[in-house]
Each structure stands twice: as structure tokens, then as C-alpha cells.
Amino acid sequence: MIGFIARYFSSFWELITAPFRLIWRGIAKLFPPRDCTVMDTVDGQVHTYQQSSFWRFTKFCAIITMSIWATWSTYVYVYHRPLLQKRTQQLEQTRTQHQRQMTDLKTYLKKYNDLTRELNIVDDKILKANKLSDKDKENLLNTKSKIVGELDFLQTRIVEMMGDENYSPEFDKISELAMEFELVRNENDVLKQKNQQMIESVQEISDADNQIVEQVSKLTKDNIDELHKNLKKINTSITKLGLTETSLVSQANNYSNQIIGGRFIQLNLNKNTDEKYKKIAADIEKWHGLNRLTQILPIGAPVAKKTITSPYGMRQDPFTKKNKHHKGIDFAGKIGTELYAVAPGRVVSAGERSGYGTTVEIDHGLGFTTLYAHLSKIMVSRGDWIRPGTVVGLGGSSGRSTGPHLHYEIRYKGSPFNPINFVKE
């Protein structure tokens, strides 16, 4: 053996390193030295250097190492990262579950202590039952049974919680329900407070509304009564014409002209509206109609000094001395006496008329007209809109007349009627 070693190896160190030299020769064959040429771009010179087998082998090992590391890192990232995320999520869920379990446990224990305290109070009352009625005793026993049942339920839940490692708190546990209950109760208290404020406000509005209704009702009643009093003197004449106050009020509300104004717009109330409002609406409508009637109807005397010389009806004709129907009333007056319009209206005739002489006729609306006859001068023109108190003409004795005076007629739909109730105070 020693001879073999001495024959092929010059020293012991050469023997030990022989395998490594053999491996290196194999590596040197795979990675032989290689000349590399590099051009210097600045100087334009060409530099040549040699890459040894060791350098090429080292570079190869570095590349292999980096490739293996990159491959392993990619594998870990692609495969193990989701697992890590999943484990992290499971850990958070476990922590949350544990917190809920502890919250439930605290709630159960608190409820358990409260029920135990209530049970002790009930037991104490039962011990003093000789002072209670049978009904009270029965109520206490029922209460105790209920408390015992709740205690049994809580005990069961606590045992399950402590003994079951897979215990999972429900979504809405007593703790969460208690929190929700507190929130709802607070909201409910706020709503109750707002509701109370609304009730008080509604009550104030209702009181004010009642006062307004009362005042408006009184106002309309007083005004209606006053208007009735003013129209009372013509009621007989209106009835003889076949008219009623109701029909005239309705016509007056629907009548319009440029002096009186537009028609009255009725209040549009729902059928379910309170009766008090319906009554006010009806009273306002009646009030408006009566007020318009006092403006539209030719009520009042057409002269300043009211001296009637010949009334309406049958009389002896001053020319033929025969009985003849007198269609108006005659007012005494001198030539030039001012004659006034008693109501607003439009002049429909102004000129000569057979038997009447110089005349003016005014249409006041609702079928009523007034006629002034035997004038000496006309102060208005046909088509004029005039207001109450306008001088329409001057007294005279034109036409079939025995002397200066005013022949005055009030007509309804073209037919004259006794105007005495309209002109007297």
C-alpha cells in the first residue's frame, strides 16, 4: 500500500488533494479559460483579458444559486402566502369569537347574579307569606318558578360555553341585543320627547285655530246680521218679484263687472273637512253675497231732498183725468236739480223717449235697471260705467209732464215694479 502511494504520489498531501484535483480537472474541461476582447469607446483601444476556469465556474454557481432562490421564493409566495393569509384571518376570527364569548359570559353571569338576587328577595317574601293574601302568594310562587327556569337556562348556557370548545356565539347574543336595546330605548326616549313637543304644538295650534274659528264665526255672523238689517226693507219687494235671498246671494257671487270686480271664488273643501270649517266657508260665501247685493241693488233715493208727489200704482192721469197705472214714483224738484245714480252700473240709454222726454236708463246687473225721466239735461253718455253718487242728469219737465219733477222707475227684467221700498230709509 505504501509502495503504491510512493509510486504514484510524491507526498501525503498530494494523496489527500488528489480527488479535489480530479474534480477540478473535470470542471476545467467544462469551463476552459476564455479570452475576452473589450473595446474602450473613449480611447478607441481594444483590451483583451482572460476569464479563468475558476471565474467562469464561480459565475455559473452564482447564476444557478440565484435561479434556485428565485424559483423557491416564487413558489413560497404563490403557494404559501394564501395559506398564511387564511391562517391570519382564522386567528382574527378566533380572537373575535373569544371576545364575544367573554362578552356573553359576562352578560350571562350578570344576569345570573341579578336573577339570584331576585330569587332571594322572592324567598324572603315567601317566608313572610303569612302576611300576604292567597293571590299574592300565588303570584310570588309563579315569579319564583319563572326565575328558577331562567336560572336553569342560564346555567345550561354557561356549562355549554365552558365545556364546548367549539362553542360559537350567535350573531345577536344577549350582549349585542342589550346594546341594541339601549340604543333603541334612547331613540325611543328622544322620539317620545319630540312626540310630546309635537302634541303640545298641535294643542297650541288647535287652541289658536279654535280662537280664530270663533272670531271669524262671530265676525261673519255680526256682518250678516247687519247686512240682513239693511236688506230687510226690500224683502217684500223681492218676494213679489219671485226672488229669494238665497238665489240673489248666489247670483251676486257669480256676477262681475269692472266696478264690482270678479266673481266670488268658493272655498274648495274636502267632504271630510270638519263641519266648523264648512260652516265658516258657507257664512263667508253668504256674507260676500249679501255685501255685494247692497252694492249692486239700486237701494236709495236718486235726489238729495226726497219729496214724493205721486206714488207707484193706479192714479188719475193729469191730462186725460182717467185712472191709469203709474209705473214709477215722482219726486218734486226744480229744473236743474241734480239727479244721482244710486248703485254702480252701465248707461244703456241716454236720450229722448216717447212720453218720458229726456231719459237716462242704467243697468245695475242681476236684471235690475233704473230709469230717470223728464230731465232737462243728460250728464252721462250711453255705454258709460258709473259709480254710486254720479250725477246722471238734471231735473226738468221734458216729455209728457205738467211741471218740473223726476219720474223714477226701477225695473226687473224690463218690467217696472213699486220702488218705494228701495228708496225709503
Q: What is the pLDDT of residues 234-247, one digit of tens each?
A: 888 888 888 888 89
Question: Averaged over 95-116, what is the pLDDT?
Answer: 75
| Cα separation, 209 vs 111, whole angstroms | 53
Answer yes or no: are the C-beta atoms of 289 and 264 closer than 8 Å.
Answer: yes
Q: What's phi and psi for 362, nearest 5 deg?
A: -120, 130
**Rounded distance between C-alpha atoms, residue 347 and residue 381, angstroms:** 7
Task: Show the domains of the chain with their CATH numbers.
Answer: 1-30 (no CATH), 49-169 (no CATH), 221-296 (no CATH), 308-423 (2.70.70.10)
Residues 6+ apart with CB under 8 A from 117: none
Q: Which residues pair with 49 in a beta bridge?
A: 36
| Angstrom distance (rounded) from CA 264 to CA 253 | 5
Q: How confident is the model at residue 61 (pLDDT cuts 50, 70, 90)?
A: confident
pLDDT (mean) for 50-78: 81
DSSP string computed for 376-411: EEE-S-TT-EE-TT-EEEEEB--SS-SSSEEEEEEE
Give the containing element (helix H, strand E) for 249: helix 245-254
For 339-374, write each residue's pLDDT tens digit: 999 999 999 999 999 989 999 999 999 999 999 999
Nearest partner of 284 among 265, 270, 300, judged by Cα: 265
pLDDT confidence bin for 172, thresholds 50/70/90: very low
Q: Give the whole-angstrom CA distance, residue 241 versus residue 237.
A: 6
Mean pLDDT on 187-204: 71
- Look at residues 376, 369, 303, 374 and name the one whose alpha carbon lies nearest to residue 340: 303
Task: Summarize pLDDT for 301-339 with one digit per residue, the tens.
Answer: 999 988 999 999 988 887 878 888 999 999 998 999 999
pLDDT tens digits along 138-164: 777 777 777 777 777 777 777 766 666
**Among the listed ranges 94-103, 188-197, 283-292, which one has the minimum average pLDDT value?**
188-197
- Average the pLDDT over 105-114 and give the result: 75
Mutual angle of helices 53-75 and 12-30, in 10-degree steps: 70
Give the model's pLDDT for residue 237: 87
State yes or no: pLDDT of 173 exceeds 60. Answer: no
Q: 42 pLDDT band (50/70/90 cuts)? A: low
Q: What is the pLDDT of residue 310?
A: 92
**pTM for the full predicted model:** 0.53
> Which has more confidence, 217 or 259?
259
Residue 59, amino acid: K
Please name which of 166, 155, 288 lies closest in space to residue 227, comparing C-alpha atoms.
Answer: 288
Of the candidates 372, 357, 359, 371, the one whose C-alpha atom is nearest the C-alpha of residue 411 is 371
Whether the predicted pLDDT of 4 surpasses 60: no
- Cβ atoms within 10 Å, residue 177: 12
Angle, to 10 degrees, between the axis of helix 275-296 and the axis of helix 174-231?
30
Identity of the amino acid at 179: M
